[in-house]
């Protein structure tokens, strides 16, 4: 019976060692891959973009992630798939159909683009000094990246990092019976733990690239609030977690349909913000005569509210008043510009600043509202040190706990040896 139990114990230890080393090896490979991607991002101008529309199908279908590299305009060629930034609008990723020199600057080019799934070229040519060329794409990967961006997933990975490192370094009874065995196994454990910190820390920075929609597909808003004469449709869920930055706006599209309202009335639309004043929330509001597309407004675009700070005090500020019946198509460009002490309450700006925004429409005696950030954070993002160091910090905590336990076991073993020598 004793031999049988000993055999079971050896099998359990072997299985645990195999599982532990397998997990660490996977972490090492992932860490190496992330380190390579980070180096490429900083030295080679590489980044990732995500496709939310199908204008480049079937070459690059909806939900794909593409690896792009920044190039000067002089290197652009017919047939290349380029991502071009457009002032005040979303970037566009289409195929180059023509390239011509630009007047006045030999380094610039004038190009025309066309989506593979589109029947015609983009309405206007683009004058560029540089662009991003698509190197390759992976269908369906955008969903995975968005999933890993969830705070719950990131938190789970952080906890898993601490547990794995603690397990890898936790002292074992047989370890101090064979010092040579310990030395042989220490190297892969250390390298695996360091690689784990690399994959979690570097991975966070690689995945901070903002999603870039491609094409000119119409933006479909879902019904959000409705009455007999007034309805609101929003393309963002009320609990959507929006990641805001200074440079790249997040667009919120709302359709206010008051086409059934009485002819002697009016439609008024107002905005109100609430939350942490240190968020530095900014908004620009535009309207279009027709539904917005990912290329912008086809006709009748009008600025309702210039880009500026949104007071997060819960008070509504009117942005539009028109006679009914009327059907308004709004695009609200949201950014965050946090500054130390930016808030009226003196709160310091931080990566966890949160806020919400509510749009209210009034027509006749009916009032409808739609909001974002009411249950989830409307958070500032960008280069967030807290996110980047969370997983490595968790791994370091786990390592520290395990090393303290190893020291206690080693000291206990030394005391036992000393006691045995005295007894002899």
Torsion-angle region of residue 314: left (phi > 0), alpha (psi -120 to 50) or beta? left
Q: Which of 30, 57, 7, 333 is nearest to 195 (CA)?
A: 30
Quote the pLDDT of residue 376: 40
Dihedral sign computed on CA atoms, order 149, 150, 155, 161: negative
Number of H helices, E strands in the chain: 5, 19
Question: Per the domain annotation, does 215 fall within a domain?
Answer: no
Residues 297 and 355 in one domain: yes
Question: Per the domain annotation, does 53 fall within a domain?
Answer: no
Residues 248 and 370 in one domain: yes
Boundaries of domain holding 260: 222-380
- At CA 336, angle to CA 231 and CA 296, rounded to 5? 50
Residues 230 and 370 in one domain: yes
User: What is d(CA 19, CA 166) in angstroms, rounded to the nearest whole number?
Assistant: 14
Number of domain units in the chain? 3
Residues 338 and 372 in one domain: yes
**Which pair of tokens denotes residue 224?**
């959000």
Residues 112 and 162 in one domain: no
How many other CB atoms are found less than 10 A from the CB of residue 12? 10
Task: Give the burial class of 110: count Cβ atoms within 10 A of its Cβ; 0-12 exposed, 13-18 middle, 19 or more buried.
Answer: middle
Average of per-residue pLDDT across 350-378: 75
Q: End of a domain among 138, 159, 179?
A: 138
Question: Per the domain annotation, does 185 fall within a domain?
Answer: yes
**Which pair of tokens denotes residue 401?**
């706990």
Question: Per the domain annotation, does 170 fall within a domain?
Answer: yes
In this predicted model, which residue has the larger pLDDT, 295 or 198?
A: 295
User: What is d(CA 148, CA 127) in angstroms, rounded to the nearest whole number?
Assistant: 36
> Cα separations (Å) of 219 from 37, 258, 286, 370?
32, 19, 15, 17
Residues 226 and 325 in one domain: yes
Q: Which of 176, 99, 165, 164 is nearest to 131 (CA)?
A: 99
How many other CB atoms are found less than 10 A from the CB of residue 242? 20
Residues 183 and 302 in one domain: no
User: What is d(CA 112, CA 127) in angstroms, rounded to the nearest whole number?
Assistant: 9
Percent of the chain with pLDDT strictly greater than 70: 60
In degrees rounded to 5, what are phi and psi of residue 412? Answer: -65, -40
Residues 409 and 275 in one domain: no
The least confident of 126-140, 146-160, 273-287, 350-364 is 146-160
How many other CB atoms are found less than 10 A from the CB of residue 58? 9
User: What is d(CA 395, CA 407) in angstroms, rounded to the nearest whole number?
Assistant: 18
User: How many CA atoms does the CB half-sphere of 43 hold within 13 Å?
Assistant: 6
User: Which residues, other chains included, contact 186 with Cβ-Cβ below 8 Å and sequence gap of 6+?
Assistant: none
Quote the pLDDT of residue 403: 61
Question: Per the domain annotation, does 55 fall within a domain?
Answer: no
Question: Per the domain annotation, does 354 fall within a domain?
Answer: yes
Question: Per the domain annotation, does 217 fall within a domain?
Answer: no
Looking up residue 101, the CATH number of its domain turns out to be: 2.30.30
**Which pair of tokens denotes residue 303?**
């600025």
Looking up residue 268, the CATH number of its domain turns out to be: 2.60.40
Residues 244 and 327 in one domain: yes
Q: End of a domain among 119, 138, 157?
A: 138
In this predicted model, which residue has the larger pLDDT, 104 or 379?
A: 104
Question: Per the domain annotation, does 48 fall within a domain?
Answer: no
Residues 155 and 8 in one domain: yes
**What pLDDT digit, counting tens, does each position of 16-58 carry?**
677 767 776 776 676 677 777 677 777 777 888 887 677 888 8
Residues 240 and 290 in one domain: yes
Paired residues of 67 in beta bridges: 48, 136
In this predicted model, which residue has the larger pLDDT, 176 or 263?
A: 263
User: How many CA atoms does the CB half-sphere of 29 hold within 13 Å?
Assistant: 5
Parallel, antiparallel or unpaired: strands 378-380 and 242-244: parallel
Per the prediction, the chain carries an average pLDDT of 73
Residues 334 and 402 in one domain: no
Where are the strands (E) in 120-184, listed by range? 126-128, 130-138
Q: End of a domain among 110, 138, 166?
A: 138
In degrees rounded to 5, what are phi and psi of residue 399? Answer: -65, -40
């Amino acid at each position: 019976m004793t031999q049988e139990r000993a055999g079971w114990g050896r099998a359990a230890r072997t299985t645990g060692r195999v599982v532990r080393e397998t997990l660490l090896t996977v972490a090492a490979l992932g860490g190496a891959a992330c380190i390579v991607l980070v180096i490429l991002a900083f030295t080679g101008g590489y980044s990732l973009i995500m496709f939310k529309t199908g204008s480049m199908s079937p070459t690059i279908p909806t939900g794909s992630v593409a690896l792009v590299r920044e190039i000067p305009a002089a290197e652009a060629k017919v047939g290349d798939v380029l991502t071009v930034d457009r002032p005040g609008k979303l970037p566009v990723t289409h195929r180059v159909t023509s390239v011509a020199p630009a007047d006045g600057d030999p380094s610039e080019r004038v190009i025309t683009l066309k989506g593979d799934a589109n029947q015609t070229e983009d309405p206007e040519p683009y004058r560029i000094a540089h662009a991003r060329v698509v190197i390759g794409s992976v269908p369906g990967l955008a969903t995975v990246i968005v999933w890993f961006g969830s705070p719950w997933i990131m938190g789970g990975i952080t906890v898993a990092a601490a547990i794995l490192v603690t397990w890898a370094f936790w002292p074992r009874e047989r370890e101090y019976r064979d010092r040579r065995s310990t030395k042989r196994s220490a190297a892969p454990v250390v390298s695996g733990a360091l690689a784990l910190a690399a994959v979690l820390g570097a991975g966070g920075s690689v995945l901070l690239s903002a999603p870039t929609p491609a094409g000119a597909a119409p933006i479909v808003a879902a019904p959000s609030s409705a009455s007999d004469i007034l309805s609101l449709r929003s393309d963002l869920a009320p609990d959507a977690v929006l990641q805001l930055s200074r440079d790249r706006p997040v667009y919120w599209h709302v359709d206010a349909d008051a086409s059934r309202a009485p002819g002697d009335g009016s439609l008024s639309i107002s905005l109100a913000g609430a939350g942490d004043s240190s968020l530095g929330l900014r908004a620009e509001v535009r309207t279009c005569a027709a539904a917005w597309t990912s290329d912008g407004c086809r006709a009748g675009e009008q600025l309702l509210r210039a880009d500026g700070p949104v007071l997060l005090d819960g008070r509504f500020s009117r942005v539009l008043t028109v006679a009914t019946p009327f059907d308004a198509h709004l695009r609200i460009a949201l950014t965050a510009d946090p500054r130390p002490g930016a808030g009226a309450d003196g709160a310091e700006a931080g990566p966890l600043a949160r806020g919400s925004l509510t749009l209210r429409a009034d027509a006749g005696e009916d009032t409808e509202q739609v909001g974002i950030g009411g249950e989830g954070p409307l958070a500032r993002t960008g280069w967030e040190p807290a996110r980047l160091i969370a997983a490595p910090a968790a791994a370091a905590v786990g390592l520290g706990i395990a090393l303290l336990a190893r020291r206690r076991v080693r000291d206990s073993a030394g005391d036992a040896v000393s006691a045995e020598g005295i007894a002899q």
